[in-house]
Amino acid sequence: MDESIRQTWLNSVSTIVVKVGSRVLTGQDGHLDREQVASLASQLVHLVDQGKQVVLVSSGAVASGVAKLGLPCRPSELARLQAVAAVGQAHLIQAYEHFFSAHGRHAAQVLLTAEDLDDRTRYLNVRNTLVALLELGVIPVINENDTVAVDELLTTFGDNDRLAAMVAGLLARPALIILSDVVGLYDKDPVQPDAEVISVVEQLDQSILDMAVQRRNGISKGGMASKLRAAQFVTQSGAPVVIAGGRVPRVLERLAAGEDLGTLFLPQPRSLTPKKRWIGFSAQPAGKIIVDQGAVKALSTKGKSLLAVGITDVKGEFLKGEVVLIVDGDGKSIARGLTNYASDELRRIQGRQSDEIAEALGHCPYGEVIHYDNMTLA
């Protein structure tokens, strides 16, 4: 690939969010690899010295705690898992601060839970904090707050790939670089001897998502599928994404120089607004609306708002203004959106024409259940 194309995407961004996985930061023994942390810190400072604002989303707290405490394996009991994460997080941030300060920079620990980015006000508060840190020349080091999270520690934001995508969505003119134990997206199962890394993905559609090969192990909770979902959100938001090998020597500096490493996912020309980014990726749905095939077609291909007539069922209890998930009869996600009606009202008007809403409710404040401007397609 022409290196000038890769150089172009770097020149177009002001903030680089780097996500690093557990397997990149730990050695074969499961201990934190301090040489790897030192190399990563040096490369991040190099990006800052080039005039970029840098945010690091780092996994590794639990793995670091397991090694620090000399445990034989990752605990399965939740309270012990949270305790190990607390020990490991302190060890991890100390390592980052040590190596950043050697280059005249400082780390700021930012711990988040899914709820922090679910609420619109807290979402904006997180953004303001990150912006202030970047203006001070500090490198924020973000991780999930495993010590207070419960469901998140077992299922996480999906994993830190999703968290990194959400963080990128907070910032202006971002790029996301996901450093993994794999060197990019392969055109087939990477165990095949003729598998090759795809250099550039122009549009991340279902055919690309189907290439993911999910892997599980005792340290890392992520996989290519989660990385591709994160990349899909970020590219739909108008920003580029790179998935590359975290143990490739000086990988960040070489990417910054335009070298053809990993897989570059190009941003889509029509990007989501900040509100739609929040609806589509950060906010947690409060319930589900099941729709018929006519509504699926209207939403997916015609860019229409959701009307009551296309609703066949309502699951969960929610209020007006909350984010809900729209699914088809088979449970496939179609979209997310801010509902104009509470769940009890929707059950009374589902399947009705818009001009029948007033008859069912005694008033008709909205003709649409979810307006297209308040909706993000899955």
The domain ranges of the chain are 3-276, 285-377
pLDDT the model gives residue 368: 95
Question: Nearest 5°: CA angle at 378, between 118 and 240?
Answer: 80
- Can you say whether the dihedral through the CA atoms of 239, 240, 244, 247 is positive or negative? negative
- In this structure, of 16-30, 53-67, 150-164, 167-181, the range with the lowest mean pLDDT score is 150-164
pLDDT the model gives residue 237: 85
- Beta pairing, strands 15-20 & 174-180: parallel
- Determine the average pLDDT of the residues in 84-89: 89
pLDDT the model gives residue 139: 98
Pick the CATH number of 3-276 from 3.40.630.30, 3.40.50.150, 3.40.1160.10, 3.60.15.10: 3.40.1160.10
Q: Which fold has domain 285-377?
A: 2.30.130
Higher pLDDT pick, 260 / 219: 260
pLDDT the model gives residue 152: 46
Q: How far apart are CA 87 and CA 74, in angstroms?
A: 13
Q: How far apart are CA 275 and CA 296, in angstroms?
A: 22
Q: How far apart are CA 131 and CA 104, in angstroms?
A: 20
- Determine the average pLDDT of the residues in 246-253: 96
Sorting pLDDT into bands at 50, 70 and 90, what band is 9?
confident
Q: Is the pLDDT of residue 375 over 50?
A: yes
- Determine the average pLDDT of the residues in 183-202: 90
- Which range among 28-32, 39-43, 265-269, 334-338 has the greatest average pLDDT? 39-43
Sorting pLDDT into bands at 50, 70 and 90, what band is 210?
confident
Task: Supply 58's token pair.
Answer: 């780092």
Q: Is the pLDDT of residue 211 over 90?
A: no
pLDDT digits (tens, 9 = 90+) for 284-328: 899 999 999 999 999 988 889 999 999 999 999 999 989 999 999
pLDDT digits (tens, 9 = 90+) for 100-117: 999 999 999 999 877 788
pLDDT the model gives residue 148: 60
pLDDT digits (tens, 9 = 90+) for 221-240: 458 888 998 998 899 888 99
pLDDT the model gives residue 120: 74
pLDDT the model gives residue 219: 44
Q: Is the pLDDT of residue 270 over 90?
A: no
Higher pLDDT pick, 148 / 47: 47
- In this structure, of 232-246, 273-287, 345-359, the range with the lowest mean pLDDT score is 273-287
Average pLDDT, the chain: 87
pLDDT digits (tens, 9 = 90+) for 135-151: 999 999 998 876 565 55
Which amino acid, 123? Answer: Y
- Beta pairing, strands 200-201 & 263-265: parallel
